[in-house]
Amino acid sequence: MPNVKNFASLVKISHTVFAMPFAFIGYFLAQRQVEAFRWELLLLVVLCMFFARNAAMSFNRYVDRLFDAANPRTALREIPRGVVRPKHALLFCLANALLFVATAFFINRLCFVLSPVALALVLGYSYTKRFTAWCHFILGLGLSIAPVGAYIAVSGAFAAPPLLLAALVLLWSGGFDIIYALPDEEFDRQQRLHSVPAALGRKAALWLSAAVHLACFAIILCFGIYVANNVFYWTGAFIFAGCLIYQHKILSINDISKVNIAFAAVNGVASIIFAVFCILGLTII
């Protein structure tokens, strides 16, 4: 049976920095509408994020295990090299899915009712590469649940501001997932898998990713103007924009050797910094 370290590696715990900071933004955005701060509720939101992401990642690794084994870039992942058996990955997914739904039950009724919908989206993403090149944005849609779910956890209702955050996350993560898919362009074509690089080629994929991130920045501006118009927010917003520009600056049609830096390091730093300054803007001013 795999140990905790094997499962942590399987689901890439470090990649939690993509969606979790936006869940915190959604939480503190809703917190402005209530009087008491509940630490136990914040813990439940964090647990929901943790369980949902574990379920999604382990399911993705289970579903893609044969492709991962055939791809030199992913052949050393836990399932292809035998560190985690497929059935154990599936059981891990099931356990986390059940824990996610159970945790949502203790938050509020709306979160509980919507929890199967959220699971269907984040798990269903794993199949989308089989039939659409727009799979990157379905991944983004799954991640965009984070700020909306956290907002609903506090307020018990939908609202426009967290939907702006969701659109931001969708475009941001969809754009950087296109970048992440660049090294697999030829492999995806050979295996008849769908992605923007495989469908459009490297040059068009880079341009589309940049265009999507430009649209993402437009939403950042809208959120700042209508929701968090203060110095803290704008500081975080322009640092975030600088990170977006930097990740495109270090990649080119002829050189994608820094994809991992652009995908993981730069975006991880961007989300944390943006969240810190945004939350300061929402809570201090």
Per DSSP, the residues of 215-284 read HHHHHHHHHHHHT--SHHHHHHHHHHHHHHHHHHHT-BTTB-TTHHIIIIIIHHHHHHHHHHHHHHHHHT
Residue type, 238: F
What is the pLDDT at residue 7? Answer: 80
Domains of the chain, each with CATH number or no CATH? 4-283 (1.10.357.140)
CB neighbour burial string for 205-224, b if at least 16 within 10 angstroms, e if fewer = bbebbbebbebbbebbeebb
What is the pLDDT at residue 1? Answer: 61
What is the pLDDT at residue 285? Answer: 64
Q: Which residues contact 262 (CB under 8 A, 6 or more apart)?
A: 176, 179, 247, 248, 250, 251
Per-10-residue mean pLDDT for the chain, 285 residues long? 77 80 96 87 96 95 96 94 94 97 97 97 96 96 96 94 96 96 96 97 97 97 93 96 95 91 87 96 83
What is the pLDDT at residue 202? Answer: 96
Nearest to 137 by CA among 116, 164, 167, 159: 167
Residue 157 DSSP class: S
Q: Which residues contact 197 (CB under 8 A, 6 or more apart)?
A: 178, 181, 182, 184, 185, 188, 205
Q: How many Å apart are CA 198 and CA 187, to the nearest integer?
A: 8
What is the pLDDT at residue 14? Answer: 72
SS3 187: helix
Q: Work out whether the CA dihedral 233, 235, 241, 247 comes out positive or negative.
A: negative
SS3 readout for 71-101:
CCCCCCCCCCCCCCCHHHHHHHHHHHHHHHH
Q: How many Å apart are CA 228 and CA 52, to the nearest integer?
A: 28
